[in-house]
Amino acid sequence: MKHRLIGLFIMLAALLSLGWWLNRWTQPEEVRQPSVKISPDAYADALVVDSYDAGGNLKQRLQSKGMKFFDNTGITELRQPRLWHYNQQGPPWRMEADRGVIRGDQEIVHLPGPVVIDRPGGKETAPLHITTQDLTLHSDRSMATTEGPVRIESDAQWVTAVGMQAWFQQPMRLKLLHEVRGYYEFQ
């Protein structure tokens, strides 16, 4: 009796499997929808945009090898953007990435992927070289933020962290958020 019950269950499982396979085999293949190409509503090559403060001094410069604007989403895509933030009291900051995204009419530029930030040395400032990932620039507040890994180098000194907030106006400040490690040389 026990063997018959086991055999019955095996036959039932085999029939269900065969029915499922036949059903899948006889169904027509799904028809793929052709992909819709989204074309930009505006584009520019070798783009340079300057912004000035109330006193007429150059505040920021955005330079990009290419720009595409999509009206239906309000997104502007930048190809190899370079951004300079000018400060009358010190040397300018330069930020560089492979691509950038501006959403709507915001004063926020997202730089997904690897980002390099450089500031040359000045009379009273040491040079800084910062590498990070996925940087967000708040142009209206002269501020940048990231949740990604950060490495800051200045001469023979370095600091690493996860997450950063940077203010580019005087007094310039950096806030490192997590896992801060560093190497310093004192003279």
35 belongs to a structural domain: no
DSSP 85-143: EEETTEEEEEEEESEEEEETT-SEEEEEEEEEEEE---SS---EEEEEEEEEEEGGGTE
Question: In this structure, is residue 96 part of a structural domain?
Answer: yes
**Residue 90 included in any domain:** yes
Task: Summarize pLDDT for 107-140 with one digit per residue, the tens.
Answer: 788 999 999 999 888 777 788 899 999 999 888 7
Q: Is residue 23 part of a domain?
A: no
Structure tokens at 92: 């300018």
- Structure confidence at residue 29 (pLDDT): 55
In a domain, 70, yes or no: yes
Residue range of the domain that includes 91: 42-183
Q: Are residues 20 and 12 in contact, defined by beta-carbon separation less than 8 angstroms?
A: no
**Total domain count for the chain?**
1
Residue 154 one-letter amino acid: S
Q: What is the largest CA-CA distance in the chain?
A: 98
Q: Confirm whether 36 is domain-assigned.
A: no
Q: Provide the CATH number for the domain around residue 51.
A: 2.60.450.10
Q: How many percent of the chain have pLDDT more than 70?
A: 88
Is 14 contained in some domain? no
Lowest mean pLDDT among 51-55, 151-155, 182-186: 182-186
Q: Is residue 30 part of a domain?
A: no
Sign of CA dihedral 81, 115, 59, 71: positive
